[in-house]
Amino acid sequence: VAAAARPGTLELKGRGGPLGQIPLVIVDDGTAYVSAARLAGLLKGQWSVKGPRGILSVGKRSVQFTRNQARAIVTGQAVQLESAPRVSASDWLIPEDFLAKGLARLAPGVTASKAAAPAPRPPGKPIRAARPAVTLGELRYRSYPSFTRVVVESAGALAHAVSADKGEIRVRLGGLSLPGPHVEEVDDGLVKELRLEPAAGEVVLRAILDGQAGEVKDMVLEDPHRVVIDIYRPKEPTSREGGAPSRAQPLRLIVLDAGHGGHDPGATGPSGLTEKEVVLDVTRRVARMVEDGLGLKVALTRESDAFVPLRDRTNFGNKQRADLFVSIHANAHPRSVSEGVETYFLSSEATDNEARQVAALENGVVQLEGAQSRQKFNVLKSILWDLAQSEFQEESSSLAETVQDSMTRSLRLVNRGVKQAGFYVLGGAAMPAILIEIGFITNSREEKKLATPEHREAIARAIYAGLSEYRQRYNQRMRMSDAPPGKAAASPGKAEATR
Ligand SMILES: [Zn+2]
């Protein structure tokens, strides 16, 4: 959550005076929402859900929200909102900007403003003894090479207790209210399915295992409230017993990810050259060089002009247990004079506005994925956040610097530097991951160069040289970490790292 976005409370005022207060709910990406049911209550209106639509009516006026749509219809007129409503098991959350853009049409005379003080309690009345039950926000999971992460997001703090039963991990969740059982199929070879069920006054999350599980770790995160359970795969019998889990291993496999593809062309140059075509060619060249020159294995997320959803790209890397993930793209910029190369690594905070725009452009592809993916878009955002600044950030930053240095040294292109931003394609990677923008295809001079095999070869060689240098340093550190203890260097690329 962006540092500035702290939860707050809004005060609704009507012509006749204050109507009451409504708390803001801030989700993982910093967007603020209000509860549809509470808003209806304050406006003395009705909230009802019919299929994909939620309707808030006040007297004869009404506003209609639709699942996954950032557009509301207020008394027959469309209003574009910052984001789509978030739908949980028990309530809908309406983007806060509806209050500025649509409230006046729905309920003339009613305004919302930041509340100065916490909601006053009627004098003399005691604070309610029994705390109200906390509603479920979302149950989600993500499979990593060495563990499966299960996240229960809720509207408030939950008490939890983990226990292992035969064939399942059970997590008792105190204080959670659940309208009915909720089943999520996982089938990742470790967890078969997740079941969230009401049981004896509380709720139990059952992770049904496929076989055995190793260690189970749990933690609690806030903003939003989450109980995070990491279920590890059992240790392989070959791993040395007693000692630390396998120390730094030599680099073995690099996943190269050519951006875009298929019905997603990426950026397009003034004379029609597409990003998807350029980056696939460059990626193939890098692959050949790495295999021949470094003797490392390379796997490509796409080898042809095919569409690959963002999530599948890192999933592929995770399944292959890749040591590095390198995504290759070409920039677009409305100012056609922009030029140069830049390398990114993942961060929830963008370096600057421009970095944020680049990430937004690259992330936009989600709109081209099916409806299902669009639905998972928010999940993806949350996962990015669940990585809690990612155990690989330092290593990714060092990889990014090495590659960026190599590229600007040998290509004599403008060095736009190493930057950070929230690229979803990097979000799920359980390994150091970077995204390289090899040039501005929207700049006609760079487009011309990008069209030539010579320039593509030069770019590929520069990326290759960067990877080669990174490997050299990596090996140096590895030798040091095999040296007597005390001199041990950090071992990068280990998915086992925990917080
Ligand atoms: Zn791109």
**Ligand 1 center to 275 CA (angstroms):** 7
**Ligand 1 center to 57 CA (angstroms):** 43
**Ligand 1 center to 291 CA (angstroms):** 24
- Rounded distance, CA 75 to CA 63, Å? 6
**Ligand 1 center to 302 CA (angstroms):** 14
Neighbour count for residue 462 (Cβ, 10 Å): 24
Neighbour count for residue 126 (Cβ, 10 Å): 6
DSSP 294: I
Least confident of 2-6, 48-52, 158-162: 2-6
pLDDT for residue 378:
52
Q: What is the pLDDT of residues 151-185, one digit of tens each?
A: 888 888 888 999 988 899 999 998 888 878 889 88
Mean pLDDT of 433-437: 93
The residue with greater pLDDT, 347 or 70, is 70
Residue 147 has pLDDT above 70, yes or no: yes
**Ligand 1 center to 325 CA (angstroms):** 15
CB contact at 8 A, 441 and 330: yes
Least confident of 101-110, 172-181, 458-467, 484-493: 484-493
**Ligand 1 center to 361 CA (angstroms):** 7
**Ligand 1 center to 258 CA (angstroms):** 9
User: Mean pLDDT across the chain, nearest whole number?
Assistant: 80
Sheet holding 9-14, edge to edge: 17-23, 9-14, 111-114
pLDDT for residue 435:
94
The residue with greater pLDDT, 10 or 235, is 10
**Ligand 1 center to 33 CA (angstroms):** 30
What percent of the chain lies above the pLDDT cut of 70?
A: 80
**Ligand 1 center to 307 CA (angstroms):** 13
Mean pLDDT of 212-231: 84
Residue 382 has pLDDT above 60, yes or no: no
**Ligand 1 center to 145 CA (angstroms):** 26
pLDDT for residue 429:
79
CB contact at 8 A, 213 and 164: yes
Least confident of 90-99, 122-131, 135-144, 184-193: 122-131
**Ligand 1 center to 330 CA (angstroms):** 6
Q: What share of the chain is helix, strand, coil (3-state, %, to 5)?
A: 30, 35, 40
**Ligand 1 center to 474 CA (angstroms):** 28
Q: What is the pLDDT of residues 391-427, one digit of tens each?
A: 677 788 899 999 999 999 888 778 888 988 777 778 7
**Ligand 1 center to 329 CA (angstroms):** 4
Interior angle at CA 28, CA 56 and CA 263, nearest 5: 85
**Ligand 1 center to 148 CA (angstroms):** 29
Question: What is the distance between the terminal CA atoms of the chain, rounded to a whole angstrom?
Answer: 19
**Ligand 1 center to 344 CA (angstroms):** 12
Query: Which tokens belong to 207?
Result: 């992770």
Residue 372 has pLDDT above 80, yes or no: no
CB contact at 8 A, 213 and 190: yes
As to burial, measured by CB atoms within 10 angstroms (0-12 exposed, 13-18 middle, 19+ buried), residue 131 is exposed
Pairing of the two strands 297-300 and 253-258: parallel
**Ligand 1 center to 430 CA (angstroms):** 21
Q: How far is CA 407 from the centre of its chain?
A: 28
- Rounded distance, CA 23 to CA 12, Å? 11
Q: Where are the beta strands (DSSP E) in 15-95?
A: 17-23, 25-26, 32-35, 46-50, 53-58, 61-66, 71-74, 77-80, 86-87, 92-95
Per-residue pLDDT band for 21 (boundaries 50, 70, 90) equals confident
**Ligand 1 center to 303 CA (angstroms):** 16
Per-residue pLDDT band for 278 (boundaries 50, 70, 90) equals very high
Per-residue pLDDT band for 469 (boundaries 50, 70, 90) equals very high
pTM of the model: 0.54
**Ligand 1 center to 254 CA (angstroms):** 19
**Ligand 1 center to 261 CA (angstroms):** 10
